[in-house]
Amino acid sequence: MRKIEGDQVLMRIFIGESDMWEHRSLYMSLLELFRSKSLAGATVLKGIAGFGPDSIIHTASLFRLSPDLPIIIEIVDTEERLQTILPEIDRRMSGGLITMEKVRVVRYERTDR
């Protein structure tokens, strides 16, 4: 197990639920990429509402169910590892937003079950 702690980088990737890569959902493609590169971990979050550069609001309300809800993927790892994988992420994305910010990791521990 690789342990990370202290100052690291949080990468957030903002995409749409309907975004695809090679006939599969983009978020699953990215999640599998991150796992194959042994990144510390990643979480996919589904938003209930949002809008992007087109200013169209996508929402999960009962009256208007959007087929393209916002998806945010969060990854925390070293800056070097995230910079290395950035070109592979960019190659898969036809739109969206990527942000990176410094964070302090207080605890990262795997417990055996």
- Where exactly are the structural domains of the chain? 6-105
When the pLDDT of each residue in the chain is averaged and rounded to a whole number, the result is 87
Strand (E) or helix (H) holding 13: strand 6-16
What is the side-by-side order of every strand in the sheet holding 70-77? 42-46, 70-77, 6-16, 97-105
How many beta carbons lie within 10 A of that of residue 85, not counting itself? 18
CA separation (Å) from 33 to 11, 14, 74?
A: 14, 16, 13
Mean pLDDT of 65-90: 91
- 2 has pLDDT over 90: no
- Per-residue pLDDT tens digits for 31-48: 999 999 999 889 999 988
- Per-residue pLDDT tens digits for 82-91: 999 999 999 9
Residue 66 pLDDT grade (very low, low, confident, very high; cuts 50, 70, 90): low
11/8 Cα distance (integer angstroms):
10
pLDDT at position 27: 97
- Per-residue pLDDT tens digits for 89-108: 999 999 999 999 999 998 76
Q: Which percentage of the chain shows pLDDT scores above 90?
A: 64
Angle between helices 26-36 and 79-92 (to 10 degrees): 140
CA atoms within 13 A on the CB side of 53: 5
98/113 Cα distance (integer angstroms):
34
pLDDT at position 9: 97
- 69 has pLDDT over 90: no
CATH class of 6-105: alpha beta
